[in-house]
């Protein structure tokens, strides 16, 4: 694609990077075949190719974002299926992230939209606040019919029951059982600590049993993904910087073989810290952290898992977009489950998004609902006894549309290697 940025514009590192991405696009349209919003809406401007044209026009002309551009960029899930499909290697993620930051800085949203985004940015990344908000949502549910659409969507997603906080999420060190093979830091996350404490608990147990010393670093918290994808770069970079400093302290204190992440949406962002901070004083440390970041299934694939239980379960594996497209991890989770004795079932069109996408199911509830219904239908079609996924957002989204129990992949692997059976599977 030809671009016409001026020399002055290209001095801006963000513009320079977007120019590089734009120039790799050859208008082939392969991306439209795997774009969920294009499949649902059928509008060229709701495809990656269409959004690329809108972004190019906006950035090249150095004009404030307009309502039309914002509408179509907001409808993008950032599922990144287009990046897996693109034969030219267009790094759409960096382009759309820059566009969202540009929109945030140049466009004044309607009051309700602006208020919702402000509220989400100040609640979801903070487990304590999020837990309080979820308790409040339980009281507000009877009134959801008169609420604005985003508030109604948020209330519908709120679980009826919350687990108590896990002591394991506090900064501490969990020693390896037996000889230490690896020393790893576990990213405990933010929303996950309020919604499902079993995931981190299972991760710590299975790593300990297989020779890993697990560190929960003082000062680490939200990865910054939620605000990053809203274009709120100041807030997202502040959260990311805290993590970088916290993990670098642990590297200095005893070294780290990996930074383990069990929420794939977070993993995609942490692995991109090197890019996010490429022009910052933290550039070298950010690159170090990105290089150490590993999904839990990557780490477990390097360990000799000792299976002690013989599971007789049909598992439908849901491939989270941030894992299969964002991190290009397509086979490790399924291989681990198969090697552990599970019958792994893969639904039709496994590349398609469930519609969760961070705050997307709150801000775009209609499209998200259509995608959820389609995803649940394909998962249930293979007649599973349990659905496994590697991302808390996907788990909550899919779980709200099916009676089939939904658990994290690591919960299943922890169970068959000596851990407790997941609570949701007790009746099976």
* HEC profile of 278-307: CCCCCHHHHHHHHHHEEEHHHHHHCCCCCC
Residue-wise pLDDT for 73-130, tens only, equals: 999 999 999 999 999 999 999 999 999 999 999 999 999 999 999 999 999 999 999 9
Quick one: which of 167, 266, 198, 256 has its CA closest to 414? 198
Residue 173 has pLDDT above 80, yes or no: yes
CA–CA dist 362, 339 (Å, integer): 37
CA–CA dist 307, 304 (Å, integer): 9
Cross-strand partners of 406: 387
CA–CA dist 133, 11 (Å, integer): 43
Structure tokens given for 21: 């991405």
Give the other-Cβ count within 10 Å of 13's Cβ. Answer: 11
Quick one: which of 283, 145, 301 has its CA closest to 210? 301
pLDDT of residue 159: 83
SS3 state at 386: strand
CA–CA dist 77, 349 (Å, integer): 17
Quick one: which of 29, 30, 8, 28 has its CA closest to 19? 8
CA–CA dist 263, 187 (Å, integer): 9
Structure tokens given for 173: 């060190």
Name the pLDDT band for 369 (thresholds 50, 70, 90). very high
Residue-wise pLDDT for 155-170, tens only, equals: 888 888 889 999 999 9
Name the pLDDT band for 61 (thresholds 50, 70, 90). very high
Residue-wise pLDDT for 255-273, tens only, equals: 999 999 999 999 999 999 9
Which residues touch 127 (CB under 8 Å, ≥6 apart)? 165, 169, 190, 191, 193, 194
Q: Is-contact 363 370, C-beta < 8 A?
A: no
pLDDT of residue 177: 95
SS3 state at 205: helix
Query: Please, what are the domains in the chain?
Result: 9-106 (1.10.1060.10), 111-157 (no CATH), 167-300 (3.40.50), 307-425 (3.40.50.1860)
Please state, rounded to an integer, the average pLDDT across all residues of the chain. Answer: 95
Residue 141 has pLDDT above 80, yes or no: no
């Amino acid at each position: 694609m030809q671009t016409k940025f001026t020399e002055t514009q290209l001095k801006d590192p963000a513009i320079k990077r977007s120019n590089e991405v734009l120039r790799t696009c050859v208008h082939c349209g392969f991306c439209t075949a795997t774009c969920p919003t294009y499949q649902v809406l059928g509008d060229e401007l709701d495809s990656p190719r269409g959004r690329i044209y809108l972004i190019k026009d906006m950035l090249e002309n150095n004009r404030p974002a307009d309502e039309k551009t914002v509408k179509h960029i907001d409808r993008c899930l950032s599922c990144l299926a287009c990046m897996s499909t693109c034969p030219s290697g267009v790094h759409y993620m960096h382009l759309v992230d820059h566009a969202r930051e540009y929109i945030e800085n140049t466009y004044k949203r309607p009051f309700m939209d602006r208020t919702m985004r402000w509220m989400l940015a100040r609640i979801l990344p903070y487990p304590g606040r999020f837990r309080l908000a979820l308790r409040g949502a339980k009281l507000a549910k009877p009134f959801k019919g008169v609420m604005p659409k985003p508030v109604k969507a948020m209330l519908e997603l709120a679980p009826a029951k919350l687990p108590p906080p896990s002591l394991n999420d506090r900064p501490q060190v969990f020693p390896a059982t037996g000889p230490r093979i690896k020393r790893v830091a576990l990213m405990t996350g933010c929303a996950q600590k309020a919604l499902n404490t079993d995931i981190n608990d299972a991760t710590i147990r299975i790593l300990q049993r297989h020779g890993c010393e697990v560190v929960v670093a003082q000062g680490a918290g939200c990865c910054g993904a939620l605000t990053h994808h809203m274009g709120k770069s100041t807030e997202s970079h502040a959260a990311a910087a805290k993590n970088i400093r916290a993990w670098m302290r642990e590297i200095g204190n005893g070294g780290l073989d990996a930074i383990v992440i069990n929420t794939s949406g977070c993993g995609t962002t942490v692995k991109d810290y090197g890019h996010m901070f490429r022009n910052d004083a933290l550039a070298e440390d950010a690159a170090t952290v990105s290089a150490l970041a590993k999904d839990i299934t990557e780490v477990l694939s390097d360990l000799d898992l000792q299976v002690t239980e013989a599971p007789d379960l049909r598992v439908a594996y849901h491939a989270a977009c941030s894992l299969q497209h964002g991190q290009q991890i397509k086979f490790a989770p399924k291989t681990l489950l198969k090697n552990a004795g599970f019958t792994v079932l893969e639904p039709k069109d496994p590349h398609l998004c469930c519609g969760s996408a961070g705050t997307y199911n709150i801000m775009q509830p209609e499209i998200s609902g259509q995608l959820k219904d389609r995803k649940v239908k394909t998962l249930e079609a293979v007649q599973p006894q349990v659905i496994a996924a590697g991302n808390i957002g996907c788990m909550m989204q899919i779980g709200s549309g099916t009676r089939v129990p939904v658990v994290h992949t690591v919960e299943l692997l922890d169970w068959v290697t000596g851990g407790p059976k997941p609570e949701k599977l007790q009746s099976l």
